[in-house]
Structure 1
Amino acid sequence: MMAVALLYRYADFVKLLGGTEFHLGWIVGVGIAGSVATRLLIGSWIDRFGSRPLWIGSLLLFAVTCLAHLAVTTYNGPAVYLLHILFYSSVAGINGAAVTFVSHCGPEKKIAEMIGMWGTSGFIGAVLGTQLGDLLFSGAAGIERPEIVEMFVYAAALSLLTIPLAWTATRSEKHAALLPWLRKITRERLSRRAAPASCLCDEEEAADSRDRLATCPTGQPSMWAILRQHNPGVVLAVGVAMGIGLGLPPTFLRPFAAGLGIPRIGVFFLVYSITAVVTRVLTRQWVERYGTRLVMLISLSGLAASVMLFLLVDSEWMLIIPAIGFGCSHAVLFPTVVAAGSGVFPAENRGVATLLMLATWDVGRLVGAPLAGGVLRLARVTGLPPYPTMYVVTSLMLGAVCVWYAVGVFFPKRIPTVEREGELELSPAHRPPLPALDEREPAPAAIASNVQAG
């Protein structure tokens, strides 16, 4: 997280290349599209092979992507978009592997608390990363190439230093191993090639063998089948709204502060992180006490109000005001949304569930970054104050999702019932399916005969 936070000054890199906030929004939005695709593709993969391969591979990709940015010379070429796709794909892999690993470290009712406590380390990394960024750019009169180079090189170095830590953390992970599965496939194929023609199996056996080789080591259904069977519902919309709101500071805080003549943004993320850590410790049992629905509604409402607090900022120290609101909202909302969505899925599909909820966060940023850049550009064209307009529009969007979710919570749809002989029963369209014949309980007569036979 420290390396990611160091790159919160990515807006300075785009500005150095000649771009504006509009271009920044589209670069970030296109890059996050890669993150969404990555999360959806790697969910079942993590369930099969564990977090370690993805975690370490994503850290390597992150480092390579940071160093490749040093060769980019224009803000509107395909290179910057492709590298940003790879960058966010690596971040998605790192976070997905880490969150999935943590979610397996405790019982289901403790998922929110486990993810919340793990996220505390991310806040500490955000503080250190932004402070390092302010230190790198403190001596420059403007945006200079050497500071940009140092930013990317330091981020790559931090990623590489994390690999031994990830390897050590996952040494006791219990998942279906990738190498034994590959060895099994290789042995079967070699034995088939070495067998004489008379010993070859018939077409039906060959088809069964191919199906066996194509089956995942854990025998799990495909990711899309899992998603069709388990649907978190409106929680997905809350995750998208969370991504829109919480995605604003990492992308647009730096140009917003620069427009006000504020050279440093570290104070915002310092207060943000401290507030989040304290709030997360104080509220770690809220989900167990009050339930995910009420906690999500309160925290999403607080996020909508926190966005409006940016309208009060006119100096560096006043960044503390929205930072407190964002820290409280983030600390409560993020683990609650992930836990609410993941709880719908069975434990063996926890990787798909976790990455699906993180994908909603990415979809929010995918929508929010280009939208915010477009609002800023349109506001300048129409003569409106750019950033106040953008913050008001974003807050209204989050408020609309709050109202929608509140209606679903307090006024749920009633399941139709039919009255028969003074009793209420579910209507035929809403009755659960009958179990298979072999799964039904035996009739009393059959039980009696079995007892007598015994």
Structure 2
Amino acid sequence: MAQWIDRVGAKRMWGLGFVIFSAASLANLGLDGLGPAIYLLRCSILLGAALVFASSLCYVSQIAPPSRRTEAIGLLGVGGFLGMLVGPLLGDLFLGTGQRSREDFAALFIAAAVANLVPLLLLTKLRSPEMDGPVRSVRLTDFIRTVWRYWPGAILLVDFAFGVAMTCPLIFLASFIDQAPLQMGNLSMLGVFFTCYAGWAIALRIGMRRWPEVYGPRPVLIGGMLFMALAMFAFLLVDASRPWLLLLPAVLGGTGHALTFHTMTSLTLDPFPPQYRGTASALALMMLDMGTFVGAPVLGKLGQVAGFNSLFAAVGVTCLGATWIYARCSR
């Protein structure tokens, strides 16, 4: 994928990602049971999402002036936070809380397809970045050679740690809420968390969009990772008698996310020349996904054996450790 972004261009691959996601969503309408097809379509949806994510990062990094690249990536990320806000609400709207029918899921898949076709049309209005240099190979050996040549260093460890940290809100939080259990009237505690997390992160990302340019991406990143660690430790204060304290890790985590993702991504992309930004974007996302892929089963086992407090504490320590190593190596 990384090599094809460099070869074909970020804008075209971005559009291809939207097409794949929309087609796979609509193809779900033809399913009539569990089987290989459902796994193929699930993989296709993930492929489409990966193409959109990596290509959009690459495109923005190629279009934005170098001094404002981090800000541009941050504003792009606001769209992700908006999806985090609106997605659960739309899911509840289409699927509801009662008995779910085939028609409910059909409406959800159609809405997902339309939601990707609209930005595809808007994408045609964007200019294509001008890239110099020869046509690039799509061989794996060339990907490895490019990464080795422009190796970004210890920032990849931060990418990995951030992926580990994201397992908490995206994978383990729902189980934590159910097991505690956390209740505040008829409110969905998961919805409350993500509304606070994403809403606060959007406000900070927009309000502090010039911080990386003014103070530099490195100190902003370090501060963001410290907030991510604090968010993990703040989960230790939450229990059934104090469900409202779930807002604390939501605010701290939203702050950490708002300060971290765009700065660590920009710092990962920085050593690579513009014509290899597809490779750089894929590398950054690969390390983040690896943190989630490796962290999820390990933390899940830890949570089973020692409880959620140990799980959250382990993630907090991971964030602190990665931040300390990066701070030492990047001085």
Question: How does the TM-score come out when normalised to structure 1?
Answer: 0.63
Q: How far apart are residue 363 of structure 1 and its match?
A: 1.4
Alignment correspondent of 1:92: 50
Alignment correspondent of 2:162: 242
Asked if 1:372 is matched to 2:299, the reply is: yes
Taking the aligned partners of 1:84 and 1:348, their CA distance within structure 2 comes to 31
Counterpart selection for 2:323 from 395, 402, 414: 402
C-alpha root-mean-square deviation of aligned residues, in Å?
A: 3.1
Gaps (5+ residues) in structure 1? 1-41, 177-214, 411-454
Asked if 1:173 is matched to 2:128, the reply is: yes
Alignment correspondent of 1:228: 148
Counterpart selection for 1:118 from 73, 76, 87: 76
Alignment correspondent of 1:59: 18
Counterpart selection for 1:158 from 112, 115, 140: 115
Taking the aligned partners of 1:89 and 1:113, their CA distance within structure 2 comes to 26
Taking the aligned partners of 1:149 and 1:331, their CA distance within structure 2 comes to 34
Taking the aligned partners of 1:312 and 1:268, their CA distance within structure 2 comes to 15
**Aligned letter for 1:305?**
L
Q: Which residues in structure 2 correspond to 1:157-306 (within 5 Å)?
A: 157-168=114-125, 170=126, 172-175=127-130, 217=135, 222-259=142-179, 260=181, 262=183, 264=188, 265-306=190-231
Alignment correspondent of 1:36: none
SS of match in other structure, 2:124: helix
Taking the aligned partners of 2:311 and 2:27, their CA distance within structure 1 comes to 32
| Residues 388/120 of structure 1: CA separation in 2 closer, same or farther (3 Å cut) | same
Alignment correspondent of 1:48: 7
Larger Rg: 1
Conserved? CA contact 1:246–1:330, under 8 Å? no
Taking the aligned partners of 1:349 and 1:219, their CA distance within structure 2 comes to 11
Q: How far apart are residue 100 of structure 1 and its match?
A: 1.4
Taking the aligned partners of 2:109 and 2:299, their CA distance within structure 1 comes to 25
Question: How does the TM-score come out when normalised to structure 2?
Answer: 0.83
Q: Name the stretch that deviates more: 280-289 or 352-361.
A: 280-289
Taking the aligned partners of 1:96 and 1:316, their CA distance within structure 2 comes to 37
The number of aligned residues is 321
Alignment correspondent of 1:129: 87
Taking the aligned partners of 1:393 and 1:148, their CA distance within structure 2 comes to 37
Taking the aligned partners of 1:389 and 1:88, their CA distance within structure 2 comes to 31
Q: How far apart are residue 72 of structure 1 and its match?
A: 8.0
**Aligned letter for 1:388?**
N
Conserved? CA contact 2:227–2:252, under 8 Å? yes
SS of match in other structure, 1:104: helix
SS of match in other structure, 1:284: coil
Taking the aligned partners of 1:103 and 1:409, their CA distance within structure 2 comes to 22
Q: Which residues in structure 2 correspond to 1:341-420 (within 5 Å)?
A: 341-376=268-303, 378-379=304-305, 384-385=306-307, 387-409=308-330
Taking the aligned partners of 1:134 and 1:289, their CA distance within structure 2 comes to 41
Percent of aligned pairs with the same amino acid: 29
Q: How far apart are residue 231 of structure 1 and its match?
A: 0.6
Conserved? CA contact 1:234–1:405, under 8 Å? yes
Q: Which residues in structure 2 correspond to 1:305-344 (within 5 Å)?
A: 305-313=230-238, 314=240, 317-344=244-271
**Aligned letter for 1:227?**
V
SS of match in other structure, 2:128: coil
Gaps (5+ residues) in structure 2? none
Taking the aligned partners of 1:287 and 1:112, their CA distance within structure 2 comes to 7
Taking the aligned partners of 1:147 and 1:322, their CA distance within structure 2 comes to 33
| Residues 261/103 of structure 1: CA separation in 2 closer, same or farther (3 Å cut) | same
